[in-house]
Amino acid sequence: MILIGLDPGLGTTGWGVIFAEGNRLGHVANGQIGTRATDPLAARLAALHAQLCAVIAGHDCAAAAVEEVFVNANPQSTLKLGQARGVVLLAAAQAGVPVGEYAPRLVKKAVVGTGAAEKAQVHAMVSRLLPSAKIAGADAADALAVAICHAHHLASARALKGAA
């Protein structure tokens, strides 16, 4: 099964594509989509949407996973993050890809073992779990972590369904 993980952001949105076969995970691709801070908000959201649609279309994804919004100290930043997240969800929905959503603490716990893990710990663990990956940056590492979390949750759900 091919999964795409998405770490939304207005300035940079990370994406990571993995395959999951049972408990085996493998890296397919990863990257970051950036927008120019000098462009109007509508243009930035449109650029994010177009680039993300191209990434999703370029991989035959069976599922997507998106990190949920956390509240920043700056309400304006939280609002912009929410708008970018809406575009990310829209792009996946338009492609007909079912979306799982995960809190940042849950992603960290699934990948590192603790919900209080630092970004560097997440990046290091993603590198160990996907040793062939050349990670494009911190946002791409976070996106791969979201995809790994989703793969683990899907495998658990299948196992529970099979046991029932």
- Residues catalogued as catalytic: 7, 67, 139
Q: Residues of the chain with pLDDT > 90: what percent?
A: 79
Q: What is the pLDDT of residues 69-114, one digit of tens each?
A: 776 778 888 888 899 999 999 999 999 999 999 999 999 999 999 8
Q: Is the pLDDT of residue 164 over 70?
A: no
Average of per-residue pLDDT across 44-52: 98
pLDDT score of 37: 95
How far does Cα 158 stand from its chain's mean position?
A: 21
How far does Cα 119 stand from its chain's mean position?
A: 14
What CATH architecture applies to the domain 2-163?
2-Layer Sandwich (3.30)
Q: What is the pLDDT of residues 118-138, one digit of tens each?
A: 989 999 999 999 999 999 999
Mean predicted lDDT score pLDDT of the chain: 92
Query: Cα dist. 135→15, 126, 144 in Å?
Result: 10, 9, 9
Domain ranges of the chain: 2-163
* pLDDT band (50, 70, 90) for residue 56: very high
